[in-house]
Chain A
Amino acid sequence: MSQVPRNKILIVFSSETSDTTKKDILSKIFVQIEKERLNDNIIKHIQWETKYYRAELDLYVDQYDTLSEWIKELLSEESTPLLEVLAGVIVIDDADITEHKGKFDQISTKIHDDSFLLRCINSEKIQDSQDEVLNDVLETVHLGSLGTVNEFGEKLGIERIKEILDTHAWDQDVVELLQDDQMKRHRTHVEDIDAIVKKLEEAKLQYQDLSATEMKEADLYALEIAEEIARSI
């Protein structure tokens, strides 16, 4: 049983993809990666943040000459430890990969149930017919889609990849819930509330003393305290 967290994303490009396109795609998905790290094949400690959590993930960037060879290598015995720690695989290739459907099916059974398998197309010319064939094995994302949302409100292109990463069930070890931070803020708030409650108690005693002698003065004092507390809240 592997102790390495399942937080690695394998992103693989076809050999036809230029370095510029590669960097462009990577920088659009992982905006937090510094420019100089975009050339690396392994980019570690990427902070992925949503409104609910922050996760640390590693990116493995690969390139292949022939898809069938790469798949064969990935399905080999030596790659099993890698497959076990993969949170997802993203294949970026404009070529028709429908003939490899069966092999992709094998990859999807070898990676963890929660891990995702995506195919991205950079060209706008590719028809949706390929998507339908591959649909039950992997999701196809069209990077060159016009707009970020379709008629069903579904995110497209880079935004869809980000959404998949956002909703992925990351390993507990690499996730930090932002609610914990909010709890810390809440605790500071509680300290403020304590101070307000103390102030109210003191004011109550002061008001009781005043109201016994001068009613108008006591009311003014109560109003002043109320405004002060409202300001502090």
Chain B
Amino acid sequence: MSHLKYMLLVSRQGKVRLMKWYAPLSSKAKNKIMSDLTSLVLSRKPKMCNIIDYSDHKVVYRRYASLYFICGISSDIDNELLTLEIIHRYVETMDTYFGNVCELDIIFNFSKAYDILNEMIMCDGSIAETSKKDILTNVSMMDSIENNDNLDRVLS
């Protein structure tokens, strides 16, 4: 079982591109986590371990091109390797959806990036769906509903 505390997507330039909080935290605490982890993760060498101890929990991160996917997990409940798999599955799903996803795709389609994440992980941080096919089917369905709405608006 996995219960993420948060997921952050940070660029190599230190810009936070996406953030999702699964645990109740104050704005101050969120800002502290973002600023601490951005500098901590970006300063790490490529061959260093992807799991680090931070505050009262663990942080698992993985780098894809110019983006760092950072997850906060509970040391006693979560499995670090499973978290790495979750990150990888998320990237794979976005890759299929966008077709070789890049930072620019996420900036300009951030709502889709959140939709895909919401299909994968529930609001309490546990995994909702692991099937890439099902996630993409659901997101495509959302897209077609949205397109139909737009078409109705055009035809009305």
Chain A residues in contact with chain B, CB under 8 A? 50-53, 114, 116, 132, 135-136, 139, 149, 151-155, 160, 163-164, 166-167, 169, 190, 193, 197
Contacts and interface: CB of A to CB of B under 8 A. Distances in A.
Interface string B115-147: 000000000000000000000000000000000
A81 to B, nearest CB: 24
B27 interface: no
9 contacts: A51-B104, A116-B13, A136-B39, A151-B46, A152-B64, A154-B63, A154-B65, A166-B104, A167-B13
Given A136-B42, A167-B107, 17 more contacts: A50-B104, A52-B107, A52-B108, A114-B15, A135-B43, A136-B39, A136-B43, A151-B46, A153-B64, A155-B65, A155-B66, A166-B103, A166-B104, A167-B13, A167-B66, A167-B103, A167-B104
Interface of B: 11-13, 15, 39, 42-43, 45-46, 63-66, 102-104, 107-108, 154-155
Nearest to A177: B108
Contact of A154 (B12, B42, B155): B12
B154 A193 contact: yes
Contacts of A132: 45
Contacts of A135: 42-43
Contacts of A190: 154
A168 to B, nearest CB: 9
Nearest to A131: B45
A151 B68 CA distance: 15
Nearest to B11: A167
B104 A152 contact: no
B65 A152 contact: yes
B65 A153 contact: yes
B107 to A, nearest CB: 6
B154 A52 contact: no
Contacts of B45: 132
Nearest to A167: B103
B4 to A, nearest CB: 23
Contacts of A136: 39, 42-43
A105 to B, nearest CB: 13
B39 A154 contact: no
Nearest to B107: A167
Given A51-B104, A136-B43, A164 B13 contact: yes
A154 B68 CA distance: 11
Nearest to A116: B13
A169 B110 CA distance: 14
Contacts of A153: 64-65
A153 B43 CA distance: 18
Contacts of A164: 13
A152 B46 contact: yes
A132 B107 CA distance: 28
Nearest to B103: A167
Given A167-B107, A197-B155, A152 B63 contact: yes
Q: Which residue, of B11, B13, B155, has the highest number of chain A Cβ atoms within 10 A?
A: B13
A52 B46 contact: no
B88 to A, nearest CB: 13
